[in-house]
Amino acid sequence: MTFLLTLLAAIFVLGPLIALHEWGHYIVARLCGVKVLTYSIGFGPKVAGWTSKKSGIDYRISALPLGGYVKMLDEREGEVAADEQHLAFNRQHPLKKIAIVAAGPIMNFVIAIGLFWVLFMTPSEQLATKIGQVLPDTPAATAQLPVGDKIVSIDGHDVQTWEGINYRLAGRMGETDNISVTLQADDNAAKTYYAPVDEFMQGDDHGKDALSSFGMLPWQPTIAPIVGELTPDGAANRQGLKVGDRITAINDVAIADWISATRIIRDNPETLLNFTVLREGKPVQLAIMPQGKKDNLGNDFGQIGAMVAQSEIVIPEDYKTTVVYGPGESLVKSFEKTEQLAVMTVSSMGKMLSGMIGLDNLSGPITIAKVAKQSFDISWQMVLSTAALISLSLAVLNLLPIPVLDGGHIVYHLIELIRGKPLSEGVQMAGLNIGLLLLAGFMVLAIGNDISRLF
């Protein structure tokens, strides 16, 4: 059932993005006077579809749902009747060819901007960007960031939400330099701090989110570290923890609240931890090894199967904020966010190629499907946000100057525009073969990463 729901979530999110990407190619081709033969969602054998009696276009859904294509009349792919040669793609001006090829990625950019626009216009109550906790032995602790001050910018870029802060920090992944954080105190006085990072989010930090790696967290409720429930087959139950026990220390680190305990447990999968608990007023020593689990992105975390007793959480008013923008401001912010994430995506690709960050950060269709499923479990806003991020990634990926991808074809047509004639078919085919090998290599690596995250 989980597999089926994951598959359906992936189809629901990816299907429209692929269809609209191909529709971009399709509609611009028709506007440019090129005859379209096939509009397909997916590759391989035809599963379903119909042929238009008016245009003769074969609209189809194909068996392999890893993309799609628009097949156009082209003399390089078969004989074309003399009276239709003016409708062939290869006969068009290079600028028309570029417009047709670029229309798919541009459509994905438009989708991302549109979805972000809707999200920015939706009022949401969020945690204010006041620092609730600074983790020890982190860049934030080294810079002595004060708890309670409001974060207003990262590296000179204004931030208004914790999501924005996380994105700005994630963009510095793999780098060795100072990260500047501008804070605003309660008296509105602003001060900029400089936190040194060394290969940020690498080594021991790999798999953590950017906020935890940097060491500054939003406000979190203070929940007494008292066990309220145990999973029968969990490590805690098997190794002697009982309902009502109060955790006072783990590996000699004093525990004052439940979140501190869970953070240590999550960061130490398959590692024996020494617990000190207070049971009926007396200290009890226990050795518990958290079971190793994987989250939806394949990152390892520890779990012992112990839950806190349910209680109502009240967020202090000064740690709450309502974020809402008008239509115009939302549109501006959606363009800004799209630009920021596109630059961050390209930068991350460059860092992977240069070795600044590991190739294991590359994700494939399995991870995308799992993230899509997770977004449905959270909220409709998360579904739209996930769709926007995937659409943006598709746009950036397709614009890479690799033959086979749209970006590679654009390079070919730009060369044709400059030379006044296209490259020879032999050169183009050699480039396409190299592009296929590169793309196949990336796909094997991405799917391999997906499988390693599963197991």
Q: What are the catalytic residues?
A: 22
Q: Could you tell me if 298 and 454 are in contact, meaning their C-beta atoms sit under 8 angstroms apart?
A: yes
What CA–CA distance (Å, rounded) separates 423 from 404?
15
Which long-range contacts link 15-18 to residues 24+ away (Cβ below 8 Å)?
15/41, 15/65, 16/387, 17/108, 17/111, 17/387, 17/390, 17/391, 17/394, 18/42, 18/65, 18/67, 18/68, 18/394
Identify the three-state secondary structure at position 431.
helix
Look-up: residue for tokens 């939003």?
A: 218
Q: Could you tell me if 406 and 102 are in contact, meaning their C-beta atoms sit under 8 angstroms apart?
A: yes
- What strands lie across the sheet with 150-154, from one edge to the other? 157-158, 150-154, 177-184, 190-197
Task: Determine if residue 88 is left, alpha or beta; phi over 0 gives left, psi from -120 to 50 gives alpha, anything else beta.
Answer: beta
Q: What is residue 88's DSSP assignment?
A: S
User: What are the residues whose beta carbons fall under 8 Å from the beta carbon of 347, sequence distance 6 or more?
Assistant: 171
> Could you give the count of Cα atoms lying within 13 Å of 375 in the half-sphere of its Cβ?
23
Helix (H) or strand (E) holding 183: strand 177-184
What CA–CA distance (Å, rounded) separates 9 from 311?
33
Beta partners for residue 293, in sequence order: 301
Cα separations in angstroms, 61 against 39, 56, 68: 9, 16, 9
